Every structure is written in structure tokens, then in C-alpha cells.
């Protein structure tokens, strides 16, 4: 008689969410976004708890009474996980784990877990692993607390816990260096790709996660990139040609979505991916017009773009999902609050012709700035460059003249060909 097959089914993770508010005006449940993040990794949210705090408690983040209440909720709901809507310090995470009797993770750890789940390409996997290791490095001590009783004092008497901690730190640091070297290869490739597109007009889609950027990208370019109504469906940048009215075209890039309190290790690790936003000539900032938190999400994205050096790139605000807006007054208020915003629906096609015309108009007569140093003796070259571009400033430096040039985008190819023929370095400003 054959034995029945035994399936290895992973235990269901049941979590209680917790966080705090400090008197700020709230729209809906402050833990709704954290619940969405948890559900993205198949965690079942069984309860939520919020405490009003002016400042976090150093040892446990929550007050002692709230920690006791949280422990009772975890026990009554048979939860095996607690998730904080903030970044906990290593000490806070350790203390809460001991007091609550279940594993405790914070917002950054959860977001990085989603990135790890979504990563498909080799580069994305390396970027996520690097972020996770940098996050874990200062938290290693808690992994060996069970060996603390063996620890001694003085030279040669340290216990196995301390020795294992040092070993783990060396291993993690070695792996971090290895990942950084491997990612540097991807960064060089990315830079070569960007260098090859210098004369093209580059547009990047950016915005909060799950605002419909990839769906919009597919509709505009005819691509068939995977799109889903879930957080961080896109981690890898994709670029396609987007035909514009009157025969023009741009290179349109779809990028990773942002979120409130995006872990800085992730931002640093995904720098090569975010390069498409930094190097863009125009950013289309996509916001979900049906989301009551749209205004806060706009502020979050602008803050992230400032932090990565893209704050000065010309931007058009795209209010997407207008077909899902319940209150038209709310939509109008959003559009009135941001001058030049364009209302569209990637799903129905509403407003896409207006968007294309706005982008075409932006690049009509679009000027680019360059710097070049020409020898003072090269009279012919100086005359030629004035025919190819407008000289807006010139400075004599010893035996060269440093010129600041402006040229229409469509003329940049001729300017580059001239610089290469003269053996001069043309620097994009």
C-alpha cells in the first residue's frame, strides 16, 4: 500500500500591526498602507494598534502600557509576527521581541522583503541583497543573545557569542564589498547606455508605487511590460520609444515606484536604476487621482527626487486613474493645486492626446546647455561653434577659451560631430 504524499506547506504568518501618530491630520486608517505592504508578501493582518505619541520611547518605541496591550492582542489573535510602521532601532526591535514573544520587524524590513520577492533580474536581486545586508549589519548582535551567558571578561575569555558575532560581521562586510563590485559593473553598463542616448530626448515616468505608471508606459509605447495592481510591481527600468504628434519621438522610461519612508539603503542600492530619472530631460510625475492621500504622495515623491539629485529636472504632474475618481470636486481641487497638471486615464485613454501634445510642446525649441574649452589659437573652430550653437558665456583661462553653449535639442548631433572632429571634450551641463 502506497503512502500518501505529504505536502510541505509553509505556516501562515499572522501579524498585528502597530504604529503611532503625533496629532497630525489623518485621512482614513494610518496603518492602511502598512497593511497593503504586509498583504503584498502574503501576511495575514489580524489586528492593528495605534498609540498617540509625542516622541517614541527609546527602549521599546511604544509606551510600557501599550506594549502590554499589544502582547495581549497578539496572544488573543494567535499572531506570530508584529510589524511596526516605523524604522525601529536594533535595541527597540530586540526589546520588543523579548517582551512580545514573537518576531518583530519594522517598515524597512518589510519593504525590502517585498523588493526581494519582486526582483527578477540579476541586477535587481543584487541591489536588494546589498540593501538587506547593510540593514542587517548593525542588528547582528541580537542573533547571538542566546550565547551571552558564556561571555567572559578580559583577553582570551570572550564567549562563543562574541566570537561568532565578529565572524558574522566579517562575512557580511566581505559580501557587501563583493556585491558593490558586481553592481559597479552594472553601473558602468548603465552609464554607457545613457552616454549612447545623450542626443535623444529622454522622458522618465516617476511616482508613488501603484499609481499606474507601467500601464501608462505600455499604452504610450505599445510595450507589453508586466503591470499589476499591487505595490512595487516594477523594480527594473525599461525604456521604449514613444512617438509624439507631428512625427517626433522621445525615449520613455518606466521606473521603480517610491513610497513614504523608502529605506535609504534601497535608494542607495538602486542608484543605477534611478539614474534614468536623474538623467532625464523631462519627468512625468504620475499620481493616483483616486487616492485620498494623493497630495501627501506627491510631497513624498518630490522629497525622494530631491534626495537623488533629480529635483531640478523639469516635471509635468500626471493625474492618472481619473476614471476611478468618485468625487469630481476632489479631482478638480487636486488639478487646481498643481499648475500645469494633466488629467489622464491609462485604462480608458482619456487625456493621453493632451499629454502627448504637452510633451511635444515642451521639447519644441528645447535648449540644451554644454561647456567646451577651445584653444585661443583655434580661430576657425571658434567661428564654427558660433554657427552651431549660441554662446551664452565665455571665459579666457590661460591658453583656452571656456564657452558655455546653448543649442536646440535637434542640433546636438551636429555639435557633437564638430567637437569630435576638433578633438574637443563637449560636457553636458
DSSP 5-69: P---PPPPPEEEEEEEE-S---SS-TTHHHHHHHHHTTPEEEEEEEEE-SS-BTTTBS-HHHHHH
Is 32 in the same domain as 126? no
- pLDDT tier, 146 (very low <50, low <70, confident <90, very high otherwise): very low
CATH of the domain at 408: 3.30.70
Task: Let me know if residue 4 belongs to a domain.
Answer: no
- pLDDT tier, 9 (very low <50, low <70, confident <90, very high otherwise): low
Task: Let me know if residue 212 belongs to a domain.
Answer: yes
Is 124 in the same domain as 182? yes
Residue where a domain stops, chosen among 105, 133, 160: 105
pLDDT at 271 over 90: no
CATH of the domain at 280: 3.40.50.300
Among 142-151, 176-185, 350-359, 412-421, the range of highest mean pLDDT = 350-359
Is 75 in the same domain as 123? no
- pLDDT tier, 158 (very low <50, low <70, confident <90, very high otherwise): very low
Is 281 in the same domain as 320? yes
Higher pLDDT, 42 or 148: 42
Tell me what the pLDDT averaged over the chain comes to.
83
**Residues 330-365: tens digit of each pLDDT:** 899 999 999 899 999 999 999 999 999 999 888 876
Is 324 in the same domain as 208? yes
Residue where a domain stops, chosen among 363, 395, 410: 363
Task: Let me know if residue 206 belongs to a domain.
Answer: yes
Task: Let me know if residue 291 belongs to a domain.
Answer: yes
For the chain, the domain total comes to: 4
φ and ψ of 153, to 5 deg: -125, 150
For the chain, give the longest Cα–Cα distance.
97
Task: Let me know if residue 404 belongs to a domain.
Answer: yes
For residue 103, what pLDDT is reported?
93
Task: Let me know if residue 190 belongs to a domain.
Answer: yes
3-state DSSP assignment of residue 372? strand
Higher pLDDT, 85 or 136: 85
Task: Let me know if residue 339 belongs to a domain.
Answer: yes
Residue where a domain stops, chosen among 105, 133, 164: 105
Is 218 in the same domain as 359? yes
- pLDDT tier, 147 (very low <50, low <70, confident <90, very high otherwise): very low
Is 23 in the same domain as 157? no
Is 244 in the same domain as 214? yes
- How far is Cα 328 from Cα 334, in angstroms, rounded to an integer? 10
Is 349 in the same domain as 421? no
Which 8-state DSSP code applies to residue 323? Answer: G
Which triple of cell numbers denotes residue 157? 575569555
Is 211 in the same domain as 245? yes
CATH of the domain at 78: 3.40.50.11060
**Percentage of the chain exceeding pLDDT 70:** 83
pLDDT at 6 over 70: no
Task: Let me know if residue 243 belongs to a domain.
Answer: yes
| Helix axes of 122-136 and 271-278: crossing angle, nearest 10 degrees | 110
Report strand pairing: 342-343 vs 81-84.
Answer: unpaired
Is 204 in the same domain as 271? yes
Q: Is 342 left (phi over 0), alpha (psi -120 to 50) or beta?
A: beta
Given a contact cutoff of 8 angstroms between Cβ atoms, the answer to whether 250 and 221 are in contact is no
Nearest alpha-carbon partner for 242 in 395, 91, 356: 356
pTM: 0.72
Burial 129-164 (b: 16+ CB within 10 A, else e): bbbbbbbbeeebbbebeeeeeeeeeeeeeeeebbee
Is 339 in the same domain as 383? no
Q: Which domain holds residue 95?
A: 14-105
For residue 195, what pLDDT is reported?
61
Distance of CA 204 to the CA centre of its chain: 13
Q: What is the mean pLDDT of residues 125-130?
A: 86
Sheet holding 367-375, edge to edge: 390-397, 400-408, 367-375, 426-428
pLDDT at 322 over 70: yes
CA 255 → CA 117, 179, 307, distances in Å? Answer: 17, 22, 16
Amino acid at each position: 500500500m502506497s503512502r500518501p504524499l505529504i505536502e510541505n506547506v509553509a505556516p501562515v504568518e499572522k501579524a498585528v500591526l502597530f504604529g503611532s501618530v503625533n496629532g497630525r491630520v489623518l485621512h482614513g486608517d494610518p496603518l492602511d498602507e502598512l497593511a497593503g505592504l504586509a498583504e503584498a508578501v502574503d501576511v495575514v493582518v489580524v489586528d492593528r494598534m495605534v498609540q498617540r505619541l509625542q516622541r517614541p520611547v527609546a527602549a521599546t518605541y511604544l509606551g510600557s502600557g501599550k506594549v502590554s496591550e499589544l502582547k495581549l492582542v497578539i496572544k488573543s489573535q494567535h499572531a506570530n509576527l508584529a510589524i511596526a510602521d516605523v524604522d525601529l532601532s536594533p535595541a527597540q526591535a530586540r526589546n520588543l521581541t523579548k517582551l512580545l514573544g514573537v518576531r518583530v520587524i519594522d517598515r524597512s524590513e518589510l519593504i525590502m522583503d517585498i523588493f526581494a520577492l519582486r526582483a527578477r533580474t540579476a541586477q535587481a536581486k543584487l541591489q536588494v541583497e546589498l540593501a538587506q545586508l547593510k540593514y542587517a549589519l548593525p542588528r547582528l548582535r541580537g542573533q547571538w543573545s542566546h550565547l551571552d551567558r558564556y561571555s567572559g571578561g578580559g583577553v582570551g575569555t570572550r564567549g562563543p557569542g562574541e566570537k561568532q558575532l565578529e565572524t558574522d560581521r566579517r562575512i557580511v562586510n566581505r559580501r557587501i564589498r563583493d556585491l558593490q563590485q558586481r553592481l559597479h559593473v552594472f553601473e558602468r553598463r548603465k552609464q554607457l547606455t545613457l552616454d549612447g542616448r545623450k542626443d535623444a530626448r529622454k522622458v522618465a515616468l516617476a511616482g508613488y508605487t501603484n499609481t499606474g505608471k507601467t500601464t501608462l508606459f505600455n499604452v504610450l509605447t505599445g510595450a507589453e511590460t508586466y503591470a499589476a495592481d499591487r505595490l512595487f510591481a516594477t523594480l527594473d527600468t525599461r525604456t521604449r520609444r514613444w512617438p509624439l504628434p507631428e512625427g517626433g519621438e522621445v525615449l520613455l522610461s518606466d521606473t521603480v515606484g517610491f513610497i513614504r519612508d523608502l529605506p535609504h539603503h534601497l535608494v542607495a542600492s538602486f542608484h543605477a536604476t534611478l539614474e534614468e530619472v536623474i538623467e532625464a530631460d523631462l519627468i512625468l510625475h504620475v499620481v493616483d487621482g483616486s487616492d485620498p492621500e494623493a497630495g501627501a504622495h506627491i510631497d513624498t515623491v518630490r522629497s525622494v527626487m530631491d534626495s537623488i539629485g533629480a529635483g531640478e529636472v523639469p516635471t509635468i504632474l500626471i493625474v492618472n486613474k481619473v476614471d476611478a475618481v468618485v468625487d469630481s470636486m476632489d479631482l478638480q481641487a487636486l488639478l487646481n493645486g498643481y499648475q500645469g497638471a494633466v488629467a489622464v486615464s491609462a485604462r480608458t485613454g482619456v487625456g493621453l492626446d493632451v499629454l502627448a501634445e504637452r510633451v511635444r510642446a515642451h521639447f519644441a525649441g528645447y535648449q540644451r546647455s554644454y561647456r567646451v574649452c577651445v584653444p585661443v589659437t583655434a580661430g576657425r573652430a571658434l567661428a564654427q561653434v558660433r554657427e552651431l550653437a549660441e554662446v551664452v558665456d565665455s571665459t579666457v583661462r590661460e591658453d583656452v577659451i571656456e564657452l558655455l553653449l546653448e543649442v536646440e535639442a535637434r542640433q546636438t548631433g551636429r555639435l557633437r560631430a564638430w567637437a569630435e572632429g576638433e578633438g574637443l571634450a563637449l560636457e553636458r551641463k
